[in-house]
Amino acid sequence: MSADAEFAPAKVNLYLHVTGRRGDGYHLLDSLAVFPDIGDRLSVRPAPALSLEVTGPFAADLAAGVDNLVLAAARALVASGREGPAQDGAGAALTLEKNLPVASGIGGGSADAAAALRLLARFWARAGDLTAIAARLGADVPVCLGARAARMSGIGTDLAPPPRLPGAGIILANPGVALSTKDVFAARTGTFCAPPILPAGWGDAAAMAADLATLGNDLEAPAIALCPHVGIVLAALRALPGALLARMSGSGATCFALFATAAAAHAAARALPQEWWVKAGGLPPT
């Protein structure tokens, strides 16, 4: 992106295991997160005060008020400083193009907050510990701050390098239903899963998908119980020509399918129902 704009890619959980629960109620996770070339866009221009305008297809679903994560990130960056132009109530007119559905399991709000930190640190020429600020904003914000593949553990804030990932194609599909993360976790039953042992890397998308097929998303079954449309989306994705793996991301309701190439994903996406939110793109190699 340019100096006055930043891309906020979706976060996709290729697998997600619930490994335990802390005494304070937070669940412990193990997941491999990736970032396709599908996402929101944030831009900024000089202004005397801090403001946020939300545009795009999902603007109506997202409040631009004081509790918006983009504004929270901006205020946190201001509060973290001891010097520089942001100290005395920094001004910036932010515009968020909201292309990702809200409450959909692909970290849209966290991606937007992370993009705000990257963008405003550059716009205000601020130095500081963005990772520490990100961790205070939410469990998914640190991984979104890097916006590159990572293995997540703990409550999601413990990050480690991923296996070597091949380039691949991906389709994201959402039936137009918002799912509450809290409700999905509450509906989950059963034991906890141990973190899997992953290989050092995969040579191609087919090999990666084959290994990932032995894992799963522990939130998929409770999400389907709350929202049967998730199961319908998964069935449609698995039936697409060239689909290597289909799974729900995060706590849903967005699901994904992996393909050998971005071109294959774009071609297959045309067969999905037009009333769903569907985007095709690519995953970069690592």
Active site residue ranges = 11, 140
- Residue 115: asked if its preceding bond is cis (omega within 30°), the reply is no
Which residues on neighbouring strands pair with residue 158, listed in sequence order?
153
Please report, in angstroms and rounded to a whole number, the separation of the first and last CA atoms in the chain.
Answer: 20
Q: Which of 179, 189, 277 is nearest to 223 (CA)?
A: 179
Of 60, 5, 1, 10, the closest CA to residue 278 belongs to 10
Cα–Cα dist 251/238, whole Å: 19
SS3 239: coil
| Cα 117 from Cα 133, distance rounded (Å) | 9
The two tokens of residue 155 are: 């409550």
Dihedral of alpha carbons 6, 33, 141, 253, sign: positive
Query: From the CA atom positions of the chain, what is the Rg in Å?
Result: 19
